[in-house]
Amino acid sequence: MGNAELHSIHIHPVKAFRGQAPRQAVVEPWGLAGDRRWVLIDAEGKVVTQRQHPRLAQAAAELLPDGGIRLSAPGRTPLTVPVPEVTGTTTVDIFGTKVQAVLAGDDAHAWCGGYLGEDVRLLHMDDPATRRAVDPEFALPGDTVSFADGYPLLVTTLASLDALNALIAQGDRAQEGPLPMNRFRPNVVVSGTAAWAEDDWSRIAIGEVSFRVAKMCGRCVVTTTDQDTSERGREPLRTLGRHRRFGNQLIFGQNLIPENPGTIRVGDPFTVIA
């Protein structure tokens, strides 16, 4: 582990959209600055993700310096969306949890709805310090999260991806591999570890920032979605089900909660504290 380091950083400004890979990022208590602060909801107020709409994999969101975003997608003219003024909030149902957020403008709703062919609205989380708590079973009082699935950050490792791809190559869907890391939509990717070493981590540090390892990350159908074409297959869930089943979850990666703010940079040393 002496040579372990931060290999890459990934920020997804809009949940379920394609993200970007900066060389450095600010770690805030609720996640990387700008990560998953925007979300789509359907006509019933429920969160919209690649689970229902794999085409979102081809929609991109570029984070702008003022917190706004620039949306682009195949067949759509790019649209710049500013951070909306807080004149009121709307309820977002994110996997059964009710969260308050601020509606973007009508042009943003029309752009997203036109791409998906469905009535959707785009919202922004104005105050992540207060809007959504982390599951208290795996968090401390006051821990909050953006519109990520449940935790501020997700870490994966290159060694575990290599090991998983080797298992896929031995299986009955070998033609679907090897899979790239973007199938798992992590925030931080670490190199220089042993495969599956993350199973035993409880506290880690990346550069100047330390993190609690909250829980293993259970994977869903999004991982079977090609992030370039939106096409779906059977892997990696088929192989994870055979080799990485923990209870009723198929595991790849670990969820993190920051212990202190700071800036992380590609190449920063990675250490296991406990």
Structural contact between residues 122 and 81, judged by C-beta atoms closer than 8 angstroms: yes
Within 10 A of 240 (CB to CB), how many other CB atoms are there?
21
Confidence of residue 248 (pLDDT cuts 50, 70, 90): very high
Structural contact between residues 258 and 148, judged by C-beta atoms closer than 8 angstroms: no
pLDDT of residue 119: 97
Q: What is the pLDDT of residues 157-184, one digit of tens each?
A: 999 999 999 999 999 999 999 999 999 9
> What is the average pLDDT score of the chain?
97
Q: How large a percentage of the chain has pLDDT more than 90? A: 99
Please tell me the distance from the alpha carbon of residue 225 to that of residue 182, in angstroms, as a whole number.
Answer: 10
Please tell me the distance from the alpha carbon of residue 105 to that of residue 67, in angstroms, as a whole number.
Answer: 15
Structural contact between residues 184 and 2, judged by C-beta atoms closer than 8 angstroms: no
Instruction: Look up residue 138 and give its amino acid.
Output: F
Cβ neighbours of residue 272 under 8 Å, at least 6 residues apart?
1, 197, 201, 203, 204
Within 10 A of 248 (CB to CB), how many other CB atoms are there?
6
Cβ neighbours of residue 180 under 8 Å, at least 6 residues apart?
227
Please tell me the distance from the alpha carbon of residue 271 to that of residue 192, in angstroms, as a whole number.
Answer: 10
Structural contact between residues 21 and 6, judged by C-beta atoms closer than 8 angstroms: no
Q: Given a cut of 70, is residue 19 above it in pLDDT? A: yes
Structural contact between residues 178 and 170, judged by C-beta atoms closer than 8 angstroms: no
pLDDT of residue 58: 98
pLDDT of residue 1: 63
Q: What is the pLDDT of residues 120-163, one digit of tens each?
A: 999 999 999 999 999 999 999 999 999 999 999 999 999 999 99
Q: Given a cut of 90, is residue 72 above it in pLDDT? A: yes
Please tell me the distance from the alpha carbon of residue 71 to that of residue 13, in angstroms, as a whole number.
Answer: 10
In this prediction, residues 51-56 reach a mean pLDDT of 97
